[in-house]
Structure formats: structure tokens, C-alpha cells
Amino acid sequence: MGRVTARRRVLRVREGHSSYRPDTLAAEEPMEIRVGGRPLAVTMRTPGDDFDLAVGFLVSEGVLHRAEDVAGIRYCAGATADGGNTYNVVDVALAPGVPAPDLSLERNFYTTSSCGLCGKAGLDAVRTTAAWSVAEDPLRIGTDVLTALPERLRAEQRVFDTTGGLHAAGLFTADGELVCLREDVGRHNAVDKVVGHALRSGLLPLRGSVLMVSGRASFELVQKAVMAGIPLLAAVSAPSSLAADLAADSGLTLVGFLRGASMNVYAGDERVHHAAPEA
């Protein structure tokens, strides 16, 4: 398995004084996702929870919907020229009857840690039909529960404490109980790891749940939430205009700038219990 962190010697300058010292960095390595032995995607990720990442990615692509859709997952032996295993190639075997992804689609599955949407052929290519409707989810949540989530998320970011360089995604219940948290250099990878864990645990669709992310809310993160049946996505930073549009179209509640006692609700505000707005 790859390492989650790496050590480097750095020059540290503080208030005019300099010194050399070791520093801990978040690890970043490529991971190739294969389906039935056929290469499908390459993503830059922090090693760890790789099987969750692979199946979570396939949920967001509409390939997987339940744990029974997966016949097996393995690291590919012989991934290097000398037959060694890099633990950077994961092969997902689909259960009989589960359609394989169409590799002839006009799209580029290469993704980066900064933007999982880069390389998509166009907007229509990512408007994947969801297996479940989040618009029908009866979730209702109080602002007091929402405002407590960022601190709870931050308190569980163990690798961030040593590196300061990882995004986090946390799955919470409507009461604010943490179900699952994953960290990664890519915010979309962190979400895929959460969704993959949920699929492998037989929890999809994630009705009545809240997905909290440490960064901004992009179009792709909204799409991943919708594909997993999550009715509410909250972020500490801003959403994009496309993220807000997709949330409104899908019936997902989108919360941004969730910091301290404040937040902006960009879509689906009927799910959030709040004081009556001022005129």
C-alpha cells in the first residue's frame, strides 16, 4: 500500500530566522481504475481506502447502485514491468448482468486532484441519470445541527493535523452523528471514498443524510451527492453557479459558506429549519 504522508527536508523561514527541518506532506499518487480488466479512469489521490474510491467513482458514473453489483475488487499484480505491484491499479469485477461502462463515449476519464470534472466532454456528459430521486427525500434539519458540522468534521481530520494539505468529506445523520469520514488531496476523491464505503456497506441510497465537505461545492460534488441519493450537501466555502443550478434541478439542498453560526442556502431551503427571514 502507498503511504498517506511523506517526509521532506524544507527551509523554514519565520520572522527573519531560517532553519532546515523535516516537514510532513500529504502523499499524492496516481490510481488507475479498471472494470473487468479494462482501464477506465486515472485519478490523482492520497493512497488509502482505494477500493472505496474505485466503487464510489463507479456510483457517480451510474455503473453501480448496490453492493451486490460488485463481484470483487483487487489490486492488479504485475502492474510494473518487473511484475511488481504498485498498489496503484484497482480492478473492479462487476456481478453478472451489471452493464459495463461504455468506453466508447466521447470523454476523457483522466481526473486531477484539483478538479475531477476536468476532461469531461461537456455538460451533457455529466448529467448522468440518477437511480434515486433526492427531491422526494423528507429530510428536515435544524440550523443548529448544520452549524455544528464543520467543527465535527475538522476534529476527525487526523491526517490534516500532520500535513495541513487534505480535503475531507463526512457523511452525517440528520441528528449530526458522523457515519463516515474520508480525507484526500482531491475533494472529489474524498466524496467518492465516502460513497464507496456506503455502497460496500449496503447503505445506498443515503436517504436522510448530510454530506459535509471541507472545500467548495462544485458541480461534480453535487452530482455525486445526487447519484448516491444524498439530499443535502454542505460546504464551508462557495458553490459554483452550475452546482446551484444542478441542486435546484435535482431537488437537493445546497448549503455554502457554512462557518460559525452563518450559512447560505442556495437551493432546497425548505429542508432547513430557520427563523423567519426579515422583510
Task: Measure the CA angle with vertex 256, ends 162 and 239; round to 5°.
Answer: 95
125-159 exposure pattern, b = at least 16 Cβ within 10 A, e = fewer: ebeeebbbebeebebebebebbbebbeebeeebeb
Give residue for cell 447503505. Answer: 203
Give residue for cell 476523491. Answer: 189
Output phi, psi for 262, to 5 deg: -120, 160
Cβ(150)–Cβ(168) below 8 Å:
no
**Could you tell me the CA-to-CA distances from 31 to 40, 42, 146, 272 in Å, in that order?**
11, 5, 34, 38
The active-site residue out of 76, 115, 118, 180 is 115
- Using a 10 angstrom Cβ sphere, with 0-12 exposed, 13-18 middle and 19 or more buried, the burial of residue 245 is middle
In the chain, the amino acid numbered 269 is D
Sequence-distant (6+) residues with CB within 8 A of 26 are 4, 5, 6, 46, 159, 163, 165, 166, 185
- Is residue 76 annotated as part of the catalytic site, yes or no? no
Output phi, psi for 31, to 5 deg: -135, 125
Q: Which residues are part of the catalytic machinery? A: 115
